[in-house]
């Protein structure tokens, strides 16, 4: 199997493709009026990374910003909620949690074609591979600990105390997620996958007991954060599109998938720690990583870990199916999105293997 260079493929910016362009002078005029301190001229490029909401670098002589917008075209229900992203980073920024500084939200589609928000640019490093090629053992160990601590801190917030008490239903989170992603998957299904059909039937019958209601990120992983250039410190957690109120153990076990992710020889594959020499790399085992999180939070997924992982691999398969569908329609944010469809079946197979560990037949 080849080793695709995701770091090069997803780092930096590119020219904005025709399907995702907008009226830059109109945006500049709007920001001049609405964003404190903004002054053009404005230059726009699109970030290479990101799979769902198109994300752009806005450069002016004095400052840099980041714009996230809904993609154009027909969208799946409840997807691409940039208004919710802006609300959650605003609330967390007030708590000094590492997120980019919010600037403004705009629901007027006349400005760039769809609703959007603008946040400050955070200058640092993004690692697109969980084994962090080019780093050393000590740095990997420290970054993984910082990543664990940051998620534990997120799950420590009482949502009501930070102004997010109504940010989601909270209760019965996994049951609602299974229902949501079943519908999303069926809405974008391109071919029958037996394991997905089995999971759709089995998961509602074997849900883990509900956990406390906390703010959950929904897509927490190494490549969704910016790290300091000179220290193993998380500067900003990115991509809050799937955030809501829910079960922190569902959120944490999504993060655990990287230890068992099916390796892919496609640049569009999700980074994996499977078959890596973790001790040599300085990366904790999955068990040790769970120990650290449980010590920090008091939440422990181990009694139901196969079910959590079956659910999360199923959920990711459904998410990637939706990205592949947008690629077929020409509205995907990432040029590698068409290959996402090829990851759906391996993820479904992995999900079903965990379901079998939990007793599925």
Q: Where are the domains of the chain?
A: 6-120, 137-357
Instruction: Give the CA distances from residue 127 to residues 99, 206, 218, in Å, rounded to whole numbers and listed in that order.
Output: 17, 35, 19
Q: What is the pLDDT of residue 332?
A: 52
Q: Please name the residue that has the structure tokens 């997807």.
A: 79
The phi, psi pair for 226, rounded to 5°, reads -110, 130
List, in order, residues 6 or more apart from 52 with CB less than 8 Å away: 71, 79, 80, 239, 241, 323, 333
Average per-residue pLDDT for the chain: 92
What mean pLDDT do residues 330-345 have? 68
The whole-angstrom separation of Cα 4 and Cα 65 is 30
Is 193 a residue whose pLDDT tops 50? yes
Q: What is the pLDDT of residue 155?
A: 98
Give the Cβ contact number of residue 294 at 10 Å: 16
Expressed in angstroms, the distance from the first to the final Cα of the chain is 31
Q: What is the pLDDT of residue 1?
A: 41
Confidence of residue 118 (pLDDT cuts 50, 70, 90): very high
> Three-state DSSP class for 312?
helix
Q: What is the pLDDT of residue 8?
A: 81
Joined tokens for residue 109: 């589609």
Strands (E), the chain: 13-14, 43-47, 55-59, 64-69, 102-106, 116-120, 214-216, 225-227, 234-237, 244-246
Nearest to 99 by CA among 243, 247, 240: 240
Q: Contact at 8 Å (CB) between 80 and 241?
A: yes
Confidence of residue 317 (pLDDT cuts 50, 70, 90): very high
Q: What is the pLDDT of residue 270?
A: 78
Q: What is the pTM of this model?
A: 0.91
List, in order, residues 6 or more apart from 210 with CB less than 8 Å away: 171, 172, 173, 174, 247
Q: Which CATH class is domain 6-120?
A: alpha beta
Question: Into which CATH architecture does domain 137-357 fall?
Answer: Alpha-Beta Complex (3.90)
């Amino acid at each position: 199997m080849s080793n695709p260079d995701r770091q090069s493929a997803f780092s930096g910016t590119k020219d904005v493709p025709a399907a995702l362009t907008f009226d830059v002078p109109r945006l500049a005029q709007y920001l001049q009026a609405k964003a404190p301190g903004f002054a053009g001229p404005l230059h726009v490029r699109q970030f290479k990374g990101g799979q769902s909401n198109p994300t752009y670098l806005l450069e002016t002589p004095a400052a840099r910003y980041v714009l996230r917008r809904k993609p154009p075209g027909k969208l799946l229900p409840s997807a691409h909620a940039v208004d919710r992203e802006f609300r959650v980073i605003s609330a967390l920024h007030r708590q000094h949690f590492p997120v980019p500084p919010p600037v403004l939200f705009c629901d007027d589609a006349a400005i760039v074609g769809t609703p959007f928000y603008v946040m400050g640019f955070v200058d640092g490093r993004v690692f697109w591979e969980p084994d962090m090629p080019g780093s050393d053992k000590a740095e990997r160990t420290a970054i993984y600990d910082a990543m664990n601590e940051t998620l534990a801190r997120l799950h420590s917030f009482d949502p009501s105390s930070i102004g997010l008490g109504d940010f989601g239903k909270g209760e019965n989170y996994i049951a609602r997620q299974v229902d949501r992603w079943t519908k999303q998957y069926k809405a974008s299904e391109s071919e029958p996958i037996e394991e997905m059909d089995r999971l759709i039937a089995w998961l509602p019958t074997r849900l883990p007991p509900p956990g406390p209601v906390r703010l959950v990120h929904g897509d927490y992983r190494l490549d969704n954060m910016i790290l300091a250039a000179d220290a193993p410190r998380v500067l900003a957690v990115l991509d809050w599109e799937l955030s809501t109120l829910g079960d922190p153990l569902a959120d944490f076990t999504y993060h655990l998938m990287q230890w068992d992710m099916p390796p892919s020889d496609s640049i569009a594959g999700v980074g994996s720690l499977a078959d890596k020499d973790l001790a040599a790399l300085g990366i904790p085992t999955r068990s040790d990583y769970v120990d650290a999180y449980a010590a920090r939070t008091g939440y422990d997924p181990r009694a139901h870990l196969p079910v959590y992982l079956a659910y999360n691999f199923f959920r990711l398969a459904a998410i990637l199916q939706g990205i592949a569908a947008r690629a077929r329609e020409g509205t995907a944010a990432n040029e590698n999105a068409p290959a996402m469809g090829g990851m759906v079946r391996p993820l479904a197979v992995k999900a079903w293997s965990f379901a079998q560990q939990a007793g599925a037949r």
